[in-house]
Structure 1
Amino acid sequence: MSHDESVRGEPVREESVREKAVRDGSAAGDLVRNESAEDEPAWSEEEDDRTAETLRWLREKRKSHRRRKGRDIAVLVYSVVLLGAGYGGGYAVYFLRRIRLGADYSDVGAHVQAALPAFFTLLTAALALLAARDALWRGPVVVPAPSVGWLLAQPVRRAVVLRPWFWLSAGVSAATALVAAVAAAVVLRILGLASPGGALLALLPAAVCLPLLAVAAGMAVEHRAGLAGFVRRFSPLAVVVLMLLAGQTAAAAAGHRSAVLEQVELWSGPWGWAAQPVVSATGGHAPGWPAAVVLLVLLTAAGLVRGHRDAALVPTAQLRRRAATAQTVSSVMYSAELRAAKLALMDAAAAGPGAGRMRAVRLPRPRSKYLVVVWRDLLSLLRTPARPGKALMWLACASAVAALGLQFSGGARAVGLGAALLLGYFAVGVLAEPARLETDDVRRAAWSPFRFRTLMLHHAVVPAVLGALLALLAAVPFAVAGAPWALALMPLCAVPFGAAAVFSASRGPARTDMLFSGVSSPVGDPGVFRFFFWYAAGPLVSAGGLGIVLHGVLRRALDAGAVAVVAGVAAVLTTGLLFFAARSADRLVQPGS
């Protein structure tokens, strides 16, 4: 090949391979583009290997970009450290002074020690599930879009390009886990459960092995479509298991432990193996922790070897989709458009490997036009059963937090009640997804026989009614336990939550101009707090208003008058939220109004 041909590059080389395949009919025909896989033309290193010179040329061209990116990262790290020192320095000095003065946290330490086996298993299993779910749209190997579009199309070895991204993800995960381990060791020292050195040594196997295992598991999910489908199908079951672990953790902290169940969890997998050194260092029962650490190290090594091999085998078409999704998510996160990020993830999940199909469910059409929106919303929920499942999950969490909070008094009860109400809002908000889809693109409302504001008000019916029915179901255990008032109070809370969900859906694009008010204060520009209140006005107003009245009602005897007060507050909140939801809907279709 002449110098001019090598400069012209890919077209000449690709044509020569095709001609050779046609001429001799040999195995070189395998090098032709595989259109069904949507991948780049295969090539062999014997034909032409330009890896070294291509990467050298790319490094030269990226010098200025790398310097600018390094400065941006340095500024970001400096800002994070400054904010952490400014806002967290006071709390750190306070805790250190309490320790020096001999503050006793033994009571809290006893509860932590009792809940540690279940809590550590819960935390590590949740991280494993997050790593597997993350690999459905991103994964450890996410090559930037320019590299996917240009670099992988060149005659370079894929392993040289892709494997560094795998090891970069592994290194970042391990470094983050080590920082968390240092913080956990300090907490264990404050609680009097272990010395700083002993706690850090006990946490070291988990801090090193678990993030590397999570990266290896994500690599397996990213590379294998069958495993991705398995993760999608069994994620709801995994969430149920995590909820049971959370319940066990709360029960153990309250003094109700199960030694048999804890030993089963400690030997059930890497999440339990990593917990055994910590349990032993804090005075728990884990006599076989050296064997558990050996198993953890061997499994981590095997996972890294397998992940190193899989990193070079991800198809280019899949890398291209993941790069586009990651770029979209990062860009909209900078503009605080969380809804746009969620839509990008939903599109990636629908197009990714192992994606499920929508169920073909039918309902009889209503005869009245005033029921058509309710009919469509019910049909949408029936065809996507994951949404009612998520609503049940959030509702179960809200019920558990409410039951735990009622055991306390004063400020602890108020905090538990507020957390339970926020979780209840999330449960009802999941059912309002059709309203959010309506406002993602207002042109979709062309099918509706109503004005857009009336259409959005109709979208509040299904979340409020169905949420009230689910809340009534969740109130049955409270009634059996001797609190019949829950049968009336819990369904009442669901109605303003439905209105708040529709109000949040009608909010429109993020008002990033609120972040900068131009007013100076000791804590900086208060525009951040104004933006947060605007963004979370729906849940804050509904949960806050209900929390205030419920906290006052629960402090005295419950009767019909107390239920009437809660019902009145719920009606006022619902009316106000629906009124502002209608006004926001008008602004979406008429921006100048």
Structure 2
Amino acid sequence: MRPGSSADVRTDVHRDESTVATLTFLRAVRGRHRAEKRRNVAFLVYSLALVGGVWGTPVLLAAARLGRSRALEDRPAPLLEALPLWAPALLALVTLVMARSATWRGPVLLDGATVAWLLPQPLARGPLLTPRLVSSAIVAALLGLLGGGVLGFLLSTGTAGAWGPATAAGAWAGLGTALLGTASGALVVRYERALARRGRRIFAAAWCAVAVLGALPVVSVVHGLPPWAHTVALWISPWGWAVQPLVEATVGGAPGGGFLAALLWACCVAGCVRLAVRAVPGISQESLRLRATVADRVSASLFSLDLRQARSATRVGAGRRARPALRIPAPRTPWLVMPWRDLSGLLRAPGRLGWAAVWCASCGAALVFAAGHGGTAGTVSAVAGTWFLYLAAAQLVEPARLESDDVRRAALLPYGARALALWHAAVPTLLLALGTGLVCAVCAAGGRWTPALLAAPTAVPACVGAALVGAYRGQLPVHLLTGTDTPMGNTAPLQIGLWYLRGMLALLVLVAPVVADAARGGEYGAGQSVWLLAVAAGGLGWARRTAHRSQG
């Protein structure tokens, strides 16, 4: 039978009539449940608004007073000058994260009853799936309006202009970014099969583009960029169009005016939303069923505060390649087997190597900035540099984290848990030492040398030890969930936060003051090196005990 015949037309009409009748019946049957759900959502919104008003409003007002009084005069000036560079990168990153999350969740998410009962039925997909997309877009739009408005208000506190136009411009950029990210997520779900073949390259290229945009403000702070670079950054991508009204309201002098850029941004967002709405009915049952299952697993893991399990559940639809991009020959020396194994594991996820390089570069930029600015800004920048180095180490200890989640991976290895923890520190320490050494060489060649940079290579073992403590933390102890009742409230949230972040917090307490002192004093001596190496020894010993305890 030819497509488009009268029989096909009658089938489509019958399917549409059945869909309308089914959805009408479900709305009538689930009326009480829908009303209760709306009341729960209204109560949640009220609670969030109350908490935000009580805790957020005083913070915003205090930031406004400090900005107006120029108490932070040495900090917001570089931030505002580099606004045309870092704001488009931030919006592009948010959009990419929303699109990437659609590989396991997506904006079109169905509940278990719909997946089990409605999807197998011969019903039209458009009336069933489009409302889900609309509800996700509304939630994302509200969050984008709020986040963008807050960002615009905070940026306006460092200028002499009014806060209203900056807040509106930030809300406009946040609204468009949220809708664009939602539409991109819907397209990712719709064309999942095509992305299964080319998605890894597409997302890798997108991450590289965002990394280039993010590197521009770092280069601007460290080395400086000509004014035309700001103009190019504001016109080279749609997110630059979104930022131009905010730049005009805060810094001023947006090239070409903000109206044309706002019009282009609106057309871009509207076009992507239209494509998403037209693509939603073509989403396959397999994609919808997989995402509903993964979402239930993630929700259950989050309710039990098992963040590792939640992250493992999100990798179900990732489609990672089994073979690394670069194969390393197997070593013939037994003591090189574990480093070869860890390095091969990192090569299977080259994104972690890329992020480690980004955090190493950010650490160097933060230390250079701290050496050139005294006071609070320099101290905060030095602490941020230490934190960046910890994040780089956390990316490289992924083999240890996987081994902690699945003890079968190390069952046949001739090492105990304590020895394996030390073996897993070898490759991250070597890679970070090379990375920080390269950063020091680049800064020295570019005329940005400061003795504080020497603290980065010396602090690498301490950062790796702290990252291994987090990798081997194991399951959350049950007694931390109960806590202790005090006049200030229950201590369970504080205990859980300290348990999850204990390695990073210990590192910041013990290492960051030394790095900040080297940045302020402009010199780095042997005593500071001895202290950092002692902290590293303590951190590795702590990781050994944590690994042994987590392995039972």
Same fold (TM over 0.5): yes
Aligned CA distance change for structure 1 residues 186 and 344 (closer, same or farther; 3 Å): same
**Deviation of 1:401 (Å):** 1.8
Q: Which has the higher contact order (CA 8 A, sep 6+)?
A: 2
> For 1:201-259, what per-residue CA distance to the aligned partner results, in whole angstroms no more than 9, with x for missing partners?
54564344333223222222222243576553244444444444345435667995533
> For 1:401-453, what per-residue CA distance to the aligned partner results, in whole angstroms no more than 9, with x for missing partners?
22222211233222111111111111122111111111112233211112233
Q: CA RMSD in A?
A: 3.3
1:109-258 matches, within 5 Å, as 111=78, 113-187=80-154, 189-200=156-167, 202-203=169-170, 205-225=172-192, 226=194, 232-249=200-217, 256=224, 258=226
C-alpha separation in 2, matches of 1:109 and 1:375:
46
Match of 2:281 among 312, 317, 320: 312
C-alpha separation in 2, matches of 1:489 and 1:95:
32
Number of corresponding residues: 544
> For 1:346-375, what per-residue CA distance to the aligned partner results, in whole angstroms no more than 9, with x for missing partners?
232127xxx68544724233333x443223
Aligned CA distance change for structure 1 residues 128 and 228 (closer, same or farther; 3 Å): farther
Mean Cα displacement is larger for which, 446-455 or 280-289?
A: 280-289
C-alpha separation in 2, matches of 1:556 and 1:209:
45
Structure 1 length-normalised TM: 0.82
**2:333 is paired with a residue of what secondary structure?**
coil
The equivalent residue for 2:538 is 576
Aligned CA distance change for structure 1 residues 269 and 460 (closer, same or farther; 3 Å): closer
**Deviation of 1:192 (Å):** 4.1
Aligned CA distance change for structure 1 residues 335 and 76 (closer, same or farther; 3 Å): farther
**Deviation of 1:530 (Å):** 2.5
Structure 2 length-normalised TM: 0.87
**2:473 is paired with a residue of what secondary structure?**
coil
**Deviation of 1:555 (Å):** 4.4
The 8 Å contact of residues 15 and 124 in structure 2, kept in 1 or not, is answered as no
Unaligned runs of 5+ in 2: none
C-alpha separation in 2, matches of 1:472 and 1:479:
11
**Deviation of 1:56 (Å):** 3.2
**1:153 is paired with a residue of what secondary structure?**
coil
The 8 Å contact of residues 500 and 542 in structure 1, kept in 2 or not, is answered as yes
Aligned CA distance change for structure 1 residues 511 and 293 (closer, same or farther; 3 Å): same
The equivalent residue for 1:7 is none
The equivalent residue for 2:418 is 453
C-alpha separation in 1, matches of 2:16 and 2:178:
38
* 2:259 corresponds to 1:264: no
Aligned CA distance change for structure 1 residues 395 and 291 (closer, same or farther; 3 Å): same
Match of 1:410 among 353, 371, 375: 375
Q: Which amino acid aligns with 2:201?
A: R
The 8 Å contact of residues 132 and 231 in structure 1, kept in 2 or not, is answered as no
Unaligned runs of 5+ in 1: 1-24, 32-42
C-alpha separation in 1, matches of 2:530 and 2:64:
48
* 2:341 corresponds to 1:373: no
The 8 Å contact of residues 189 and 196 in structure 1, kept in 2 or not, is answered as yes
The 8 Å contact of residues 356 and 396 in structure 2, kept in 1 or not, is answered as yes
**Deviation of 1:300 (Å):** 2.7
Match of 1:585 among 531, 547, 551: 547
> For 1:91-134, what per-residue CA distance to the aligned partner results, in whole angstroms no more than 9, with x for missing partners?
345457779xx735795776555333223322222222223212
The equivalent residue for 1:6 is none
**Deviation of 1:297 (Å):** 2.6
* 2:509 corresponds to 1:544: yes
Q: Which amino acid aligns with 1:574?
A: A
C-alpha separation in 1, matches of 2:454 and 2:168:
52
C-alpha separation in 1, matches of 2:186 and 2:37:
27
The 8 Å contact of residues 472 and 487 in structure 1, kept in 2 or not, is answered as no
The equivalent residue for 2:347 is 382
* 2:357 corresponds to 1:392: yes
Aligned CA distance change for structure 1 residues 416 and 74 (closer, same or farther; 3 Å): same
The equivalent residue for 1:280 is 248
Identity value in percent: 31
Aligned CA distance change for structure 1 residues 419 and 230 (closer, same or farther; 3 Å): farther
> For 1:448-479, what per-residue CA distance to the aligned partner results, in whole angstroms no more than 9, with x for missing partners?
11223322232222222222222222221244
Mean Cα displacement is larger for which, 430-439 or 81-90?
A: 81-90
C-alpha separation in 2, matches of 1:301 and 1:292:
14
* 2:474 corresponds to 1:500: no
> For 1:23-78, what per-residue CA distance to the aligned partner results, in whole angstroms no more than 9, with x for missing partners?
xx8879xx9xxxxxxxxxxx744378522332234334434543443454344334
